[in-house]
Copies of this chain bind each other. A is one copy, B any other.
């Protein structure tokens, strides 16, 4: 340190600016030359080190993108540089990222986004009217009619309205209020923001946050950042990872010894477990939260990822309302959704929303204030969220392509259209089994030759037309 100080006093007393006037790149060259000759001597201790840094941040553990993922990145670079490995590519199965795995984006969503991005395209005949309609609506609600303006911190008004309408539809009529909708930078942002507001107290009255184990690591990370107390409740692996209210009871009782359990986080459908909670289970959880005075966080980003025919997604909001006023006007709930999952898989746009129920009006003000500090969520992500909640409807131009894209197997769709448009009834190939990514149909050739000729001509015309429309 003495030496360093001396060095500097020599190099840095009062001087005229012109003494720094040598060419910049030669100065840089000199800098690195000096560094090479005596790299250690002029190095002081860093101000920011593992010892001096924020201990809560240091304590954060984050598995989904930890060292394994960094290593994966390195291996990819090595493969690119031609280094031989026992494999030729890295398969990133660590994170739920559909498009990185090759899923194509939904055409309609991207059309609307492109129109919003570059409104000159609104004059282009190659974009469908319904996409233009959506884009115009979004742009009209943006400052300067541009995605490039900051939006309100809570999100663009008309998009919050669309979200509210979506929730109302989804929940069979249980009303949603746009004022309770907050657009976010992915669900991650909503979850960490509401937790940030919730955590308080010191010592034994520090806020405890109950999370499922296994959990999605965002929760433990944010709890650690906020220096809150993580309260684990275990999902029942023997029972398809079901949530058992007795386990919640055990966890909360034990936690009360050393913290103030105030928040209960639920992930439904679960990640990483995939389990879908029954309606009865959700009721039990809500009753438990009511009883124990817990603020409920319902992470419902996988609401469109229910695959088993025996399961159905029930939103916490809907069940809460159906349980009657004692619950629906008392239990405080924040629920989360995202553009990242479902059939859209638009992770990169960082779109999401949070709906809050029974939030104290003063706290709503605090929430907006807190969100304002970071100005607004990305407006393109907000627009993507709008399309997730406001997709094409029957009668609109893009409806068929869209429905096919996110629901029907292509061969089923093809055969359905063929039947509707020509009356010819054939069987989708998938009923018989086929190589992945190829599509077939089966038809009998029993009709008499003349009839078969017309049939085949019809199929041919239909086929050409179909490819033009949907390829």
Contact = CB atoms under 8 A, between A and B. Distances in A.
B12 A149 contact: no
Given A101-B144, A348-B146, A348-B148, A378 B375 contact: no
Contacts of A345: 148
A145 B199 CA distance: 40
A277 interface: no
Contacts of A82: none
A295 interface: yes
B325 A42 contact: yes
A7 B380 CA distance: 46
Nearest to A345: B148
A205 to B, nearest CB: 10
Interface stretch (A363-371, A412-420, A424-432, A444-452): A363-371
A31 B113 contact: no
A80 to B, nearest CB: 10
A215 interface: no
Interface in A316-369: 318-319, 321-330, 332, 340, 344-350, 358-360, 362-363, 366, 368-369
Count this chain's copies in the assembly.
2
A308 to B, nearest CB: 18
A463 interface: no
A54 B148 contact: no
Interface stretch (A57-65, A229-237, A403-411): A57-65
A203 interface: no
Interface in A208-256: 217-218, 221-222, 225-226
B146 A105 contact: yes
A186 interface: yes
A222 B20 CA distance: 36
A68 to B, nearest CB: 11
Contacts of A34: 324-325
Nearest to A324: B11
Contact of A49 (B110, B324, B363): B363
A368 B65 CA distance: 9
Contacts of A52: 200, 262
B323 A43 contact: no
Contacts of A392: none
A188 to B, nearest CB: 5
Given A332-B46, A348-B378, A171 B53 contact: no
A372 B64 CA distance: 8
B53 A197 contact: yes
Interface residues of A, number: 139
Contact of A360 (B49, B97, B118): B49
Interface string A52-95: 11110110101011100110010000000000000000001001
A187 to B, nearest CB: 10
Interface stretch (A21-29, A159-167, A266-274, A434-442): A21-29
A58 B366 contact: yes
Interface stretch (A172-180, A393-401, A453-461): A172-180
Nearest to A53: B197
Contacts of A153: 65
A311 interface: no
Contacts of A57: 196-197, 366, 370
Nearest to A174: B28
A298 interface: no
A378 B290 CA distance: 37
A390 interface: no
B146 A99 contact: yes
A143 B72 CA distance: 13
A189 interface: yes
A285 interface: no
Nearest to A33: B325
A276 interface: no
Contacts of A100: 143-144, 146, 149-150
A326 B7 contact: yes
Given A46-B332, A100-B143, A110-B118, 5 more contacts: A20-B283, A24-B172, A24-B173, A113-B118, A150-B348
5 contacts: A25-B172, A28-B173, A60-B369, A148-B344, A380-B381
